Amino acid sequence: METLTASAAEKVKSYLDAEVEIAAGQTVVKKSREMKIFREQQCFTCIIEHDISFEKVNADGTALNRAEIFLLPEEYPSFLFAWNDFHIPLPTDYRQWQQVNPHIVSVCMESVEAPEDFAARLAAAFNALEA
């Protein structure tokens, strides 16, 4: 098995409220959000495209899950708390790193787990930004 099953792709699409494209052994999620970045006395509104993908799907339903999520510095704590506090624990095969500049934080995550679990955890973290 190389790509997500149709039911797994539908769950990912539903959890993340995003378009899902499957091609060449990789599933790519098209998710964007509007961000307002304040710099000095100016406000910049931009649409940010997140990079979310699933590949190398195993027979047991696990896959290599990747995401690069862009956040405002003030959003980072609540996003990360919701990510880590999700009812399904992070898998043992997980890594995370971030790149920070004064106006935006790039959070990169990789895990080997069921794509539906990764997407559900990611949806919960996005929902924490709206609360």
User: Residue 89: its pLDDT value, please?
Assistant: 94
For the cut 70, the answer to whether the pLDDT of residue 121 exceeds it is yes
pLDDT (average), residues 88-101: 94
> Rounded distance, CA 124 to CA 69, Å?
13
Residue 54 in contact with residue 62, Cβ under 8 Å? no
4 — pLDDT class (breaks 50, 70, 90): confident
Output the DSSP codes for 14-57: HHHTSEEEEETTEEEEEEEEEEEEEETTEEEEEEEEEEEEEE--
pTM: 0.91
User: Residue 38: its pLDDT value, please?
Assistant: 78
User: Residue 46: its pLDDT value, please?
Assistant: 86
User: Residue 130: its pLDDT value, please?
Assistant: 85
pLDDT in tens, 40-93: 788 888 898 999 999 988 989 999 999 999 999 999 999 999 999 999 999 999
